[in-house]
A = this chain, B = another copy of it.
């Protein structure tokens, strides 16, 4: 039996003998690496750190770590891995033990990706393919190369947004790893009936490193990347449309009530969703309390009221299991009439 929201929030994050710094990189499988390169490099302007015949290692303009988005040529589109950086390599051993205790299958890799050392991989109880690591090569920041930037520009990776049909359990899992909650969407009702329709969880002191959204899962709804200001989001839209790639713009630009984000959602050539995200706020004080939204509040998802297209609710990136096959998904088990538009099948 899942905990109620009240119980979950009272439980709070576990104090952990390791420090997960932040959401750090994603590996996406793409069916046409050249098309993906055009989208991520030529149009969005991400910085190329390394490139091989079948993979592209990209980073944002301020990032010094070798990569935050890895694109790999494959037969089917999928997210292969969600990577989190640890404060220290030694933290990994304690983490492995904790993950196993939480029901994860874990295994180690070493140097599996360029410029990376040993890493702990895990399939969590819900099917998400996770990786935790400390070692990664550093390169120069391109933060002030304004002469070369395009569009927004994309400064750094910010967060992963995950679909889950088992919100309370997934929320508890991340709390056990030390994640805190900045905001959540409640289905309303009596405290004992109230369920989570969405939750924003963080390690670095912004709104989130991981967001959970009620819906068919496990799936990756989107990867959020941080841009410095709303004007850049508008400019990116103009540049995409002018280049004949306007169809990549799925939702927005607009403002979320939750998180206060000024956003636009883009779909890459394989349908992977990227959120350009700005206007975050500081959450680092330990008594920062979660902000509650009712699922019935129209400003919750769309502060200005624009309705999201169906695709934004229905389509998401499927995940790759360790055997290279797509992880089966399950529909959300909540009474969807109560959760309204926030619920995905």
Question: Chain A: residues with CB nearer than 8 A to chain B?
Answer: 21-22, 43, 62, 64-65, 85, 87-88, 138, 141, 143-148, 155-156, 204-205, 228-231, 234-235, 237-243, 246-247, 249, 252-255, 257, 260, 262, 278-279, 281-282, 284-289, 291, 298-299, 303-307, 309
A303 to chain B, nearest CB (A): 5
- Shortest 9 CB-CB distances between A and B: which pairs? A146-B238, A146-B242, A147-B243, A147-B242, A229-B229, A231-B231, A237-B304, A62-B281, A147-B239
- Whether B286 pairs with A87 at a CB distance below 8 angstroms is yes
User: What residues of B have a CB within 8 angstroms of the CB of A62 in the complex?
Assistant: 281-282
- A-B contacts, 19 of them at CB < 8 A, read A22-B284, A43-B147, A138-B289, A141-B291, A143-B281, A144-B238, A144-B303, A146-B238, A204-B284, A229-B279, A237-B255, A237-B303, A238-B304, A240-B304, A241-B299, A241-B303, A241-B304, A246-B303, A253-B304
Q: Determine the distance from Cα of A15 to Cα of B289 in the docked complex, in whole angstroms.
A: 28
Q: B145, B254, B255, B305: which contacts A247 (Cβ < 8 A)? A: B305
Q: B205, B246, B291, B304: which contacts A246 (Cβ < 8 A)? A: B304
User: What residues of B have a CB within 8 angstroms of the CB of A285 in the complex?
Assistant: 21-22, 64-65, 85
- Whether B234 pairs with A262 at a CB distance below 8 angstroms is yes
User: How many copies of this chain does one complex carry?
Assistant: 4
User: What residues of B have a CB within 8 angstroms of the CB of A21 in the complex?
Assistant: 284-286
Q: Determine the distance from Cα of A282 to Cα of B228 in the docked complex, in whole angstroms.
A: 12
Given contacts A85-B285, A282-B204, A249 and B306 within 8 Å (CB-CB) = yes
- Whether A246 pairs with B284 at a CB distance below 8 angstroms is no
User: What residues of B have a CB within 8 angstroms of the CB of A238 in the complex?
Assistant: 144, 146, 255, 303-304
Q: Determine the distance from Cα of A42 to Cα of B231 in the docked complex, in whole angstroms.
A: 23
User: What residues of B have a CB within 8 angstroms of the CB of A148 in the complex?
Assistant: 242
User: What residues of B have a CB within 8 angstroms of the CB of A144 in the complex?
Assistant: 238, 241-242, 257, 260, 303
Q: Determine the distance from Cα of A238 to Cα of B144 in the docked complex, in whole angstroms.
A: 8
- Whether B241 pairs with A146 at a CB distance below 8 angstroms is yes
Instruction: Tell me the nearest residue of chain B to A282, going by C-beta.
Output: B156
Given contacts A88-B286, A284-B22, A285-B85, A234 and B230 within 8 Å (CB-CB) = yes
